[in-house]
Amino acid sequence: MTALRQTAIKELEKLPEDKVGFILQIIQGVNGLYNDNRSERKEAFARLEQLRKKGTVADYDEELASYREEKYGK
């Protein structure tokens, strides 16, 4: 065990029991930052890809004219 870890453990031992929970949450949060799970990111991206609508517009000018007519009329 490194000297830095030993110092951290000694400091933890000095803390009152009700404060240890806060320190544990901080440590777990820091560990979460370093444990970048690529599979979770890939799964989230795959879900987004499934939700994305595929475009079927062939003539954009005609599509725009249709929306304008619908919104503003002639």
Task: Work out the pLDDT band at 54, boundaries 50, 70, 90.
Answer: confident
Sequence ranges of the domains in the chain: 3-53
Compute the distance between CA of residue 70 and CA of residue 74 in angstroms, rounded to an integer.
9
Compute the distance between CA of residue 43 and CA of residue 21 in angstroms, rounded to an integer.
32
- Asked if residue 16 lies in contact with residue 27, where contact means CB atoms within 8 angstroms, the answer is no
Residue 58 per-residue DSSP state: S
The stretch 9-37 carries a mean pLDDT of 83
- Residue 37: is its pLDDT beyond 70? no
Question: Residue 64 is encoded by which pair of tokens?
Answer: 């725009």
pLDDT of residue 40: 79
